[in-house]
Structure 1
Amino acid sequence: MDALRPVGRTLLRDRAYEALREAIVRGDLAPGAPLKDADLAERLGLSRAPVREALARLGDEGLVESKPQSYTRVTRPVSRVVRDAAAVVRVMHELAARTGVPLLGPEGIRAMRAANERFTAAVRASDVEAALAADDELHEVLVIASGNHAAAATIARYTPLIRRVERRLFGDAGSCGSAELHTRLIDACEAGDTAEAVRVTTEIWAALEQLADDAIEVAEVTGIPGPTPDTAP
């Protein structure tokens, strides 16, 4: 039984990590919000140890910041950090398209089309959660087809930095344009046109590199907190 204990602890740590990351990305834990491990542990129904491990991991990923004996809090998005994350995610998706398109079968194409239909419906309904989930599902098809676990892990690590900023601009014209780009991507995949699939993938994700600056402009006009220009809070 002793050999099973590390597995249980890992699962608890992952549970805490996933719950806290989702709360930060959704905005339930707002930028600058203090994070007390005892309070979070009680709310999650866990002990403090897995919560501390989860906070450390989120710190490595740029979603949480800490100062010993002073504070632990949710970071405020920094435009440079978001742009860097978007650039890395773009390159990983380009790689997934380059290697995944030749391996993608009819089932994968159907899955991508179904995801894009859900995405389009969610955008029309202004359902940000459903739209982002469908967007992730669509692009994940190519990532899985590529079989590149390193690319998948990198995407999973850096996408949350982009998503929590993207939510602030949900409903802009770019959301509708994404559905059209998705269709172009799917058509290229179905035709086995790897080069075109990579080009469209680049177009999709390169747009997110501008997202941080757009969010700053929105924050200045509306007063809604957005990324800070290029400095930590």
Structure 2
Amino acid sequence: MSPIDRVDRRLMSGEAYDRIRAAIVTGDLAPGERVKDSELAERMGLSRTPVREALARLADMGLVEAKPGVYTRIATLDKDEVARTLAVLKALDELAVRTGTPNLTKGDLNLMRDLNTEFEAAVARNDVQAALEADERFHSVPVTAAQNPLIARVMDQLHPQIHRILYRKFSTLYGAQNTGGHHRELIEILASGDAEEAAKRSGAHWNELGGLIDQLFANAELTA
């Protein structure tokens, strides 16, 4: 096998990973659904090897559950696991905001304002994908400013666990939170340079989201 072949294989594995992860987030692959690498490979026009590698990565992230020789399935939504994920995301986001605030430029703040405008427009037209993308890009600005790639890497691994809930209950979670208004409040605090208050505002956002998700579980609205 040549070096070029190895690069191609990694690219195919990455493509399979991105596409399967997206299908899990959007619900095209539903919680509890059993999957076969052969069927996914045929569906995506790829060989089985990169699909198997992608499923292994997704299992490490908690998005796929596998019992060798028995089944591979999309992970169900577990209340305790979601709570643990939210706790880690909250802590990392607070840390990123706290350390990133002094590094934010006027350009960064203007970008956040533009992204929030995009977010609110997407919410208004019920465009779930565009809203999620704008929201993630919005919050990535202070994360990038924190200049700690480890924070960004771990958050990127954990976000899909929450995004698939947001996808299923978009209007409930985004509408009830007035997320656009919270974004504007955060921008103003960041512009003032008050890192502790900004981190506190960020933490409050995660607390409110967690409370809404807890209520969805209590109402059995997130069962597979």
> Under a length normalisation based on structure 2, what TM-score does the superposition of the two structures give?
0.93
Does the CA contact (< 8 Å) of 2:86 and 2:210 recur in 1? yes
Shift of 1:173: 6.7
1:68 maps to 68
1:190 maps to 191
Shift of 1:138: 0.3
Q: Distance in 2 between matches of 1:211 and 1:35?
A: 30
Does the CA contact (< 8 Å) of 1:165 and 1:227 recur in 2? no
Change in 2 beyond 3 A, CA 1:227/1:86: farther
Shift of 1:200: 0.8
Secondary structure, in 3 states, of the residue corresponding to 2:65?
Answer: strand
Shift of 1:218: 4.2
1:165 maps to 165
* Partner amino acid, structure 2, of 1:26: T
**CA offset digits 1:131-153 (Å, max 9, x no partner):** 11111010011111111111001
Q: Distance in 2 between matches of 1:188 and 1:164?
A: 29
Structure 2 unaligned regions, length at least 5: none
Q: Distance in 2 between matches of 1:174 and 1:166?
A: 8
Shift of 1:110: 1.0
Shift of 1:174: 4.7
Does the CA contact (< 8 Å) of 1:13 and 1:54 recur in 2? yes
User: Which of 200-209 and 52-61 deviates more?
Assistant: 200-209
2:205 maps to 204
Secondary structure, in 3 states, of the residue corresponding to 1:65?
Answer: strand
Shift of 1:89: 0.7
Q: Distance in 1 between matches of 2:31 and 2:219?
A: 16
1:17 maps to 17
1:38 maps to 38
2:90 maps to 90
Q: Distance in 1 between matches of 2:5 and 2:98?
A: 41
* Partner amino acid, structure 2, of 1:21: R
2:135 maps to 135
> Under a length normalisation based on structure 1, what TM-score does the superposition of the two structures give?
0.90
Shift of 1:99: 1.2
Shift of 1:227: 4.3
Structure 1 unaligned regions, length at least 5: 221-225, 229-233
Does the CA contact (< 8 Å) of 1:25 and 1:163 recur in 2? yes
Secondary structure, in 3 states, of the residue corresponding to 1:126?
Answer: coil
Shift of 1:54: 0.5
**CA offset digits 1:146-204 (Å, max 9, x no partner):** 11111001101111111111223221275352111111111111121111211111111
Percent identical: 42
Root mean square deviation of aligned Cα: 1.7
Q: Distance in 2 between matches of 1:173 and 1:89?
A: 17
2:151 maps to 151
Does the CA contact (< 8 Å) of 2:166 and 2:173 recur in 1? no
Q: Distance in 2 between matches of 1:121 and 1:46?
A: 36
Count residues in correspondence: 223
